[in-house]
Amino acid sequence: MPLDFAQNDNPAFSARREGLRHLIRQIEGGEAETDPSSARLDEVRPERLADIAAASLWALAPHIAGEKPILWVGEYHRIMDEGLPYGPGLQQAGVAPDRFILVRARRAIDALWAMEEGLRSGAVGLVVGEVADMDLTASRRLSLAARESGVPCMVLGPAGGAGAPAAFSRVLVSAAARDRDDDLQPYLAARLEKHRGGEPPATSFMEWNDATHSFAMVAPLAGGTLAASGRHLASA
Tell me the pLDDT tens digit for each residue of 190-232.
888 888 888 888 888 888 877 777 777 776 544 443 333 334 4
Separation between Cα atoms, residue 156 and residue 83, nearest integer Å: 13
Position 235 pLDDT exceeds 60: no
Separation between Cα atoms, residue 146 and residue 164, nearest integer Å: 14
Position 2 pLDDT exceeds 50: no
Which CATH code for domain 39-218?
3.40.50.300
Residue type for position 212: T
Close Cβ partners of 48 (under 8 Å, ≥ 6 residues apart): 159, 174, 225
Confidence tier at 26 by pLDDT (50, 70, 90): very low
Tell me the pLDDT tens digit for each residue of 56-102.
888 888 888 778 999 999 998 888 888 788 787 788 778 888 899 99
Tell me the pLDDT tens digit for each residue of 102-136.
999 999 999 999 999 999 998 999 999 998 878 99
DSSP string spanning 25-74?
Answer: HHHHT-PPPS-TTS--EEEEEESSGGGHHHHHHHHHGGGTT--S-EEEEE
Close Cβ partners of 125 (under 8 Å, ≥ 6 residues apart): 63, 66, 67, 68, 69, 70, 151
Q: Give percent above pLDDT 90 in the chain.
A: 31
Q: Which residues lie across from 130 on neighbouring strands?
A: 74
Q: Which residue has the higher pLDDT, 210 or 51?
A: 51
Position 17 pLDDT exceeds 80: no
- Domain ranges in the chain? 39-218
pLDDT value of position 32: 35
Tell me the pLDDT tens digit for each residue of 130-164.
988 789 999 999 999 999 999 999 999 888 877 78
pLDDT value of position 15: 52
